[in-house]
C-alpha cells in the first residue's frame, strides 16, 4: 500500500489509507450493492458509480480526525488489524460485526476461537492485516509546523465534504431510496460499523452504572406434591446452532432424527429464536422478557427461570458442554465439563456431547427424591468445525467436510457434515430419554429440547450465524423444539398428549414460550408465570 512512496504528507497518507479500505475491506459492501442493483428494475449507473467515491470522501474525512502526530500510526495499525478480521468474516461467512456479534465474540473461549483458525484466515490476516500494518509502521510521514499542518488538514477535510455535498446534490434521493431498500448496507461498511459496535459494547458493559438486581418469583410455590405420588424429573436439552430446516420432523428428506423416531416425540413447528448467537439467545430464552422487549443489561440484573424454579424448591442442575450458561445458571448448581476429563470423549479443546450422559448418570445415581430439573447444554452443531462434533461411529452422511474453512467445501460435503451433527444430537436426546424411562418407577419423567439459534450453510452467500436479527435469514432463526412426556408424567400432571401433538402443529412458537413453559411443566405457581406463553397450558386437563 505504501511501499512505493518514500515520504508522505498526512493528507496523502489519509487518502491512500481510505482508498485501501474502500478497495479491499469494503468488497463485501459492494457485493451487497450488487445484490441491490439486481433487485431494481431500472438502474442509474452514474449514481452507482458515485458510491465508492462517496465512501472514499467519507472515510477520508473521518480518518483525518485521527491523522495527527503520535496518534496516527498506532491508531491505524490497530484499526487495520481489526478491519482485516471483520473483512474476512464478512467476505467468507457473511458475518456482520454488530453489537450482538461483538458480545458473542467477547464471550468466546480460546478453544472455540481456534476453530476459526485455518489457512484461509491466516493468509487473509497476513495479506490484509499484518502487511498493511507493517507498511503503516514503516511509512515516512512528514509533518508540517502545527499551524500549517492544521490549515492543510482543514482544507483537505473541506474538499472531502465538498465532494460529499456535490454527490448529495445530484443523487440525494437515489441514496435515500437505495439505502432504504438495502438497509443492511451500513452494517458492512468497514471500519465504521464494527468500531461503532465495539464502542457501544464497551460503553454499555464497562462505563454504565450497574442496574439494581431484581429478584423475581419469590412467591413461587411448587404444587406438584399436592397431587402426585412421584416427583417430576424433567431434563431440558439446550441445543447449539441447530436449525429446523435440517430436522426430519419438519419435513427434511434425510433421516436426521433416526434415533428419536422410536419415541413419541412432539415437534413444535415454526419456532423462532430470540437471537442469532448464543450470547444473546441463551439469556433471552431463560428470561421473563420477550424478544421484543429484551434488554441484555436488564437480563443480567434479574432472576432467570432457573432462579424462579429455585425459589419454588425445585432441585436444579446445569451441566454444560458448550461455552457456559451466559449468566443463566450463576446462582444455581452448575458444572462446566472439564475438557480433559475423559480421554476418549475429550481432546483438551472440546468434548463430544456424550460426556454429558456420564454426568447425567452420576446425577441420577444420587437418586431423585424431589421435583428435579436438569439442563444439559450441548455443543451440538457448533461450527465451523462441524466434523469435530461427532465421533467416527456417527459419521453417517458422507462425503463430509473435514475442515474449518467450510466455504471451500462442496455444498454436499458441508450439508452432510452438518447433518451428522444433527443426527448425533438426536442420538444424545434418545440416550437421555432411555435413561429417563429407566427412572419411571421413581419419578414422572419428561424431556424438552430447544436450540439457541440456527445456522447459515452458504445460502445467499452466508455462513455460520450472528446476523443482525432484522436481516437474519430463516436458517438462523427457525429452530427445532421437541418434547417427550412419559405416560405417567402426562397422566399425573394432567396433560393431554394428543392435544399437545395437535397444538404443536399450529406453529407460531418462539423462545418467548420457554420461561413460563418451564414453570408450567414443574407446576410452579408464581405471579411472573404467564399462562398464555406456556406451551402446555392449552392441553392441561386438571
Task: Report the percent of the chain where pLDDT is more than 70.
Answer: 96
Q: What pLDDT sits at residue 158?
A: 97
The torsion angle over the Cα atoms of residues 244, 319, 107 and 287, rounded to 10 degrees, is 70
Return the closest-CA partner of residue 423 out of 375, 385, 471, 386.
386
Peptide bond into 390 cis (omega under 30): no
User: Hey, which CATH number is domain 232-239+271-459+499-539, 3.30.9.10, 3.40.50.720, 3.30.70.520, 3.40.720.10?
Assistant: 3.40.720.10
Instruction: Decide: 83 and 194 in contact? Cβ < 8 Å.
Output: yes
Considering only CA atoms, give the Rg of the chain: 27
Q: What pLDDT sits at residue 183?
A: 74
DSSP letter at 128 equals I
Give yes or no for residue 376 having a pLDDT over 60.
yes
Q: In what order do the strands lie in the sheet with 271-272?
A: 478-479, 271-272, 509-510
User: d(Cα 175, Cα 168) in Å, to the nearest integer?
Assistant: 8
Return the domain boundaries, the chain: 8-206, 232-239+271-459+499-539
Instruction: Decide: 124 and 24 in contact? Cβ < 8 Å.
Output: no
Give yes or no for residue 153 having a pLDDT over 80.
yes
User: d(Cα 371, Cα 230) in Å, to the nearest integer?
Assistant: 9
Give yes or no for residue 408 having a pLDDT over 70.
yes
Stretch among 173-187, 350-364, 470-484 having the lowest mean pLDDT: 173-187
The set of cell numbers assigned to 365 is 445415581
Residue 454 or 103, more confident: 454
Q: For 343, phi and psi rounded to 5 degrees?
A: -60, -20
447-464: pLDDT as tens digits: 999 999 999 999 988 898
The DSSP element (H or E) to which 61 belongs, if any, is: helix 45-64
User: d(Cα 242, Cα 468) in Å, to the nearest integer?
Assistant: 18
Give yes or no for residue 1 having a pLDDT over 50.
no
Instruction: Decide: 395 and 376 in contact? Cβ < 8 Å.
Output: no
pTM for this predicted structure: 0.79
Task: Give the pLDDT band of residue 25 (cuts 50, 70, 90).
Answer: very high
Return the closest-CA partner of residue 242 out of 400, 429, 375.
429
Task: Give the pLDDT band of residue 160 (cuts 50, 70, 90).
Answer: very high
- Sign for the CA dihedral angle at 202, 204, 210, 216 comes to negative
29-39: pLDDT as tens digits: 999 899 888 87
DSSP letter at 382 equals -
Give yes or no for residue 117 having a pLDDT over 90.
no
Give yes or no for residue 421 having a pLDDT over 80.
yes
Peptide bond into 432 cis (omega under 30): no
Return the closest-CA partner of residue 469 out of 203, 96, 93, 191.
96
User: d(Cα 67, Cα 79) in Å, to the nearest integer?
Assistant: 13
Q: For 137, phi and psi rounded to 5 degrees?
A: -60, -40
Task: Give the pLDDT band of residue 18 (cuts 50, 70, 90).
Answer: very high
Task: Give the pLDDT band of residue 226 (cuts 50, 70, 90).
Answer: low
484-531: pLDDT as tens digits: 999 999 999 999 999 999 999 999 999 999 999 999 999 999 999 999
Residue 196 or 115, more confident: 196
Burial of 378 (0-12, 13-18, 19+ CB in 10 A): buried
Task: Give the pLDDT band of residue 227 (cuts 50, 70, 90).
Answer: low
Q: What pLDDT sits at residue 78?
A: 97
Q: Pairing relation of β-strands 315-320 and 372-377?
A: parallel
Give yes or no for residue 380 having a pLDDT over 90.
yes
CA end-to-end span of the chain: 73
For residue 197, give Cα distances in angstroms to 101, 188, 230, 293, 478: 9, 12, 51, 20, 25
DSSP letter at 410 equals -
User: d(Cα 403, Cα 418) in Å, to the nearest integer?
Assistant: 12
Instruction: Decide: 391 and 223 in contact? Cβ < 8 Å.
Output: no
Q: What pLDDT sits at residue 225?
A: 63
Q: What pLDDT sits at residue 44?
A: 85
Task: Give the pLDDT band of residue 41 (cuts 50, 70, 90).
Answer: low
User: d(Cα 468, Cα 381) in Å, to the nearest integer?
Assistant: 20
Task: Give the pLDDT band of residue 175 (cuts 50, 70, 90).
Answer: confident
The torsion angle over the Cα atoms of residues 236, 240, 246 and 249, rounded to 10 degrees, is 0
Instruction: Decide: 405 and 384 in contact? Cβ < 8 Å.
Output: yes
Q: What pLDDT sits at residue 6?
A: 67
Return the closest-CA partner of residue 97 out of 184, 34, 183, 32.
184
The set of cell numbers assigned to 525 is 405457581
The set of cell numbers assigned to 113 is 476461537
The set of cell numbers assigned to 466 is 450472528
Task: Report the percent of the chain where pLDDT is more than 90.
Answer: 76
Provide DSSP, 218-275: TT-EE-GGGT-SS-EEEEEEEESS--GGG-GGGT-SS-TTTTTTTS--EE--SEE-S-
Q: What is the mean pLDDT of residues 318-335?
A: 94
The set of cell numbers assigned to 274 is 430470540
Q: What pLDDT sits at residue 3?
A: 46
259-298: pLDDT as tens digits: 999 999 999 999 999 999 999 999 999 999 999 999 998 9
Amino acid at each position: 500500500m505504501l511501499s512505493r512512496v518514500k515520504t508522505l504528507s498526512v493528507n496523502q497518507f489519509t487518502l491512500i489509507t481510505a482508498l485501501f479500505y474502500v478497495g479491499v475491506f469494503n468488497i463485501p459492501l459492494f457485493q451487497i450493492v450488487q445484490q441491490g442493483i439486481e433487485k431494481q428494475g431500472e438502474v442509474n449507473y452514474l449514481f452507482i458509480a458515485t458510491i465508492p467515491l462517496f465512501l472514499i470522501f467519507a472515510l477520508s474525512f473521518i480518518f483525518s480526525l485521527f491523522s495527527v502526530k503520535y496518534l496516527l500510526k498506532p491508531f491505524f495499525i490497530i484499526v487495520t488489524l481489526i478491519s482485516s478480521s471483520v473483512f474476512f468474516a464478512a467476505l467468507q461467512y457473511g458475518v456482520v460485526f454488530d453489537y450482538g456479534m461483538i458480545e458473542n465474540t467477547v464471550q468466546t473461549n480460546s478453544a472455540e476461537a481456534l476453530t476459526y483458525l485455518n489457512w484461509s484466515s491466516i493468509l487473509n490476516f497476513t495479506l490484509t492485516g499484518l502487511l498493511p500494518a507493517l507498511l503503516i509502521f514503516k511509512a515516512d510521514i512528514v509533518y508540517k509546523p502545527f499551524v500549517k499542518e492544521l490549515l492543510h488538514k482543514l482544507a483537505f477535510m473541506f474538499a472531502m465534504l465538498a465532494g460529499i455535498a456535490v454527490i448529495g446534490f445530484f443523487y440525494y434521493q437515489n441514496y435515500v431510496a437505495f439505502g432504504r431498500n438495502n438497509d443492511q448496507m451500513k452494517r458492512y461498511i468497514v471500519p465504521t460499523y464494527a468500531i461503532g459496535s465495539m464502542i457501544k459494547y464497551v460503553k454499555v458493559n464497562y462505563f454504565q452504572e450497574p442496574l439494581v438486581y431484581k429478584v423475581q418469583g419469590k412467591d413461587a410455590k411448587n404444587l406438584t406434591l399436592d397431587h402426585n405420588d412421584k416427583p417430576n424429573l424433567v431434563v431440558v436439552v439446550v441445543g447449539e446452532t441447530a436449525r429446523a430446516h435440517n430436522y426430519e420432523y419438519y419435513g427434511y428428506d434425510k433421516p436426521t432424527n433416526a434415533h428419536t423416531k422410536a419415541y413419541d416425540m412432539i415437534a413444535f413447528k415454526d419456532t423462532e429464536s430470540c437471537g442469532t448467537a448464543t450470547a444473546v439467545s441463551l439469556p433471552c430464552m431463560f428470561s421473563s422478557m420477550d424478544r421484543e422487549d429484551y434488554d441484555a443489561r436488564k437480563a443480567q440484573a434479574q432472576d432467570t427461570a432457573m432462579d424462579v424454579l429455585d425459589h419454588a424448591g425445585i432441585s436444579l442442575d446445569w451441566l454444560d458442554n458448550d461455552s457456559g450458561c451466559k449468566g443463566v445458571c450463576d446462582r444455581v448448581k452448575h458444572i462446566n465439563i472439564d475438557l480433559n476429563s475423559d480421554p476418549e470423549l475429550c481432546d483438551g479443546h472440546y468434548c463430544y456431547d456424550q460426556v454429558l450422559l456420564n454426568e447425567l448418570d452420576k446425577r441420577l445415581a444420587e437418586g431423585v427424591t424431589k421435583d428435579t430439573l436438569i439442563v444439559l447444554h450441548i455443543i451440538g452443531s457448533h461450527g465451523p468445525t462441524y466434523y469435530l462434533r461427532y465421533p467416527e461411529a456417527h459419521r453417517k452422511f458422507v462425503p463430509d467436510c473435514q475442515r474449518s474453512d467450510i466455504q471451500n467445501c462442496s455444498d454436499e460435503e458441508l450439508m452432510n457434515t452438518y447433518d451428522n451433527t444433527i443426527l448425533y444430537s438426536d442420538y444424545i436426546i434418545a440416550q437421555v430419554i432411555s435413561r429417563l424411562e429407566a427412572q419411571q418407577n421413581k419419578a414422572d419423567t419428561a424431556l424438552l429440547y430447544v436450540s439457541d439459534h440456527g445456522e447459515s450453510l452458504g445460502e445467499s452467500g452466508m455462513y455460520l450465524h450472528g446476523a443482525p436479527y432484522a436481516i437474519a435469514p430463516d436458517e438462523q432463526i427457525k429452530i427445532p423444539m421437541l418434547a417427550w412426556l412419559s405416560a405417567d408424567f402426562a397422566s399425573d400432571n394432567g396433560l393431554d398428549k394428543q392435544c399437545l401433538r395437535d397444538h404443536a402443529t399450529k406453529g407460531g412458537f418462539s423462545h418467548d414460550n420457554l420461561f413460563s413453559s418451564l414453570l408450567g411443566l414443574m407446576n410452579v405457581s408464581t405471579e411472573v408465570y404467564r399462562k398464555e406463553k406456556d406451551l402446555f397450558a392449552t392441553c392441561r386437563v386438571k
